[in-house]
Amino acid sequence: MTTLPPQLAELVEDFSEVGPKDRLQLLLELSQELPELPQRYADAADTMEQVHECQSPLFLAVEVEPGGDRTVHLFFSAPPEAPTTRGFASIMHTGLDGEPAAEVLAVPDDFYTQLGLAQAVSPLRLRGMAAMLSRIKNQVRMATAAA
């Protein structure tokens, strides 16, 4: 089994240690921890990529530092009235922001199944989370290929 970056592995462990109802509560708590966007992304629709598979408007941007281990930085915009989507974005941010590009690209596409959220949220919402990871990986690949 592929090892997850440490912060992401810790989140997966946190979710696996609680029951289905508590997983949803944990997701909602994480939604409140999603960092604010920096000013350069203030107009999300123009400066960020929209993840159309998400049921609520979600935009993301990926920055990859040049040289060294190509550290990845993630930025998300999701409305406060979309706590599930914000929770998914927060999981991605907490688990992947600041990690080397190679680590981000190595995350299994279906890692989110390890969170055990299938009993708590709809398959359509899980598809949105899968799409988020796919978009993040695509942007990381494009940034590392361009360098």
Q: Which of 26-30, 71-75, 115-119 is the least confident region?
A: 115-119
In this predicted structure, the answer to whether residue 106 has a pLDDT above a threshold of 90 is yes
CB 92 within 8 A of CB 74: yes
Q: Which residues pair with 59 in a beta bridge?
A: 50, 77
Residues 126-140, mean pLDDT to the nearest whole number: 94
- Distance CA(137)–CA(142), nearest Å, equals 9
Looking up residue 131, the CATH number of its domain turns out to be 3.90.1010.10
Q: Is residue 1 part of a domain?
A: no
Number of domains the chain is built from:
1
Q: Is residue 23 part of a domain?
A: yes
- Distance CA(112)–CA(108), nearest Å, equals 9
Query: Both tokens of residue 85?
Result: 């989507």
Q: Is residue 84 part of a domain?
A: yes
In this predicted structure, the answer to whether residue 1 has a pLDDT above a threshold of 60 is no
Query: Both tokens of residue 124?
Result: 């359509």
pLDDT 10s digits, 90-102: 999 999 999 999 9
**Percentage with pLDDT > 90 across the chain:** 73
CB atoms within 10 A of CB 7: 16
- Kind and range of the H or E element at 49? strand 49-50
Residue of 124 and 59 predicted with greater confidence: 59
* pTM exceeds 0.85: yes
pLDDT 10s digits, 11-65: 999 999 998 889 999 999 999 999 999 999 988 778 899 999 988 999 999 999 9
Structure confidence at residue 2 as a pLDDT band (50, 70, 90)? low
The boundaries of the domain holding residue 27 are 6-146
What pLDDT, on a 0 to 100 scale, did the predictor assign at position 147? 64
Q: Is residue 86 part of a domain?
A: yes
